[in-house]
């Protein structure tokens, strides 16, 4: 998994995306031969407008040899709805990072946020239950809790209890 595309300051451009897609497709082809899937993990800066969508849409359309690990926190923080993105690209998403964003926090394209905005799954502004249910229906096999807050020891058991209570058939 690749978790960051280098770029200057707070500005991620289509040129950054194009060069990264080239690298990911080349590396992904090599890894596929070994039975390994390369996944890209977005951090929200990819959701800037581009043509009739976003820079992320460009990345998803051009992906031939790599997939996507959706971090629902960063998708939401970048102004996209994670559930709608999952519906738009169901075959592109192979893993989920489950991290909820405290209510009232307004995201941006920076790719950064105070870790204390991580809250117990299901208590923030992200539709975690809906995302988990739909991802399960689509066959997404790997979902990871990510909590970087100073309250992680207290929060993760509560997040696990929330996830166990979700009915996925």
Provide the CATH number for the domain around residue 41: 3.20.20.150
Q: Would 1 be classed as within a structural domain?
A: no
Is the separation of the CB atoms in 43 and 74 below 8 Å?
yes
Instruction: Report d(CA 102, CA 44) in Å as an integer.
Output: 16
- pLDDT reported for residue 154: 98
DSSP letters of 29-47? Answer: HHHHHTT---EEE--SGGG
The Cβ of residue 117 has, within 10 Å, a number of other Cβ atoms equal to 20
- pLDDT reported for residue 8: 83
Burial of 154 (0-12, 13-18, 19+ CB in 10 A): exposed
User: Residue written as tokens 């020891």?
Assistant: 153
- pLDDT reported for residue 57: 96
Contacts of 118 (CB under 8 A, 6+ apart): 73, 99, 100, 101, 102, 146, 147, 148, 149, 152, 155
Q: Would 3 be classed as within a structural domain?
A: no
Q: Would 133 be classed as within a structural domain?
A: yes
The Cβ of residue 103 has, within 10 Å, a number of other Cβ atoms equal to 11
pLDDT in tens, the chain (169 residues): 999 998 887 789 999 999 999 999 999 999 999 999 999 999 999 999 999 899 999 999 999 999 999 999 999 999 999 999 999 999 999 999 999 999 999 999 989 999 999 999 999 999 999 999 999 999 999 999 999 999 999 999 999 999 999 976 5
Q: Would 40 be classed as within a structural domain?
A: yes
Q: Please state whether beta strands 53-54 and 49-50 pair in parallel, antiparallel, or not at all (unpaired).
A: antiparallel
Domains: count for the chain: 1
- Model pTM score: 0.94
Provide the domain limits for residue 103.
14-165
Q: Would 9 be classed as within a structural domain?
A: no
Is the separation of the CB atoms in 105 and 137 below 8 Å?
no
Q: Would 2 be classed as within a structural domain?
A: no
Q: Would 8 be classed as within a structural domain?
A: no
Contacts of 116 (CB under 8 A, 6+ apart): 102, 149, 150
Tokens representing residue 33 in the block: 């031969």
DSSP state of 56: H
């Amino acid at each position: 998994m690749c978790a960051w595309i280098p770029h200057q300051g707070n500005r991620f451009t289509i040129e950054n995306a194009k060069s990264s897609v080239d690298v990911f497709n080349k590396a992904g082809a090599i890894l596929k031969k070994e039975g390994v899937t390369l996944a890209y993990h977005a951090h929200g800066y990819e959701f800037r407008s581009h043509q009739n969508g976003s820079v992320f849409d460009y990345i998803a359309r051009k992906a031939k040899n790599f997939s996507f690990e959706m971090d629902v926190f960063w998708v939401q923080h970048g102004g996209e709805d994670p559930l709608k993105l999952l519906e738009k690209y169901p075959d592109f998403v192979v893993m989920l990072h489950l991290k909820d964003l405290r209510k009232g926090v307004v995201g941006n394209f920076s790719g950064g946020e105070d870790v204390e905005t991580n809250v117990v799954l299901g208590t923030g502004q992200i539709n975690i239950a809906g995302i988990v249910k739909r991802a399960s229906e689509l066959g997404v096999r790997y979902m990871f809790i990510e909590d970087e807050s100073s309250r992680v020891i207290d929060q993760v058991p509560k997040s696990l209890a929330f996830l166990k209570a979700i009915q996925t058939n």
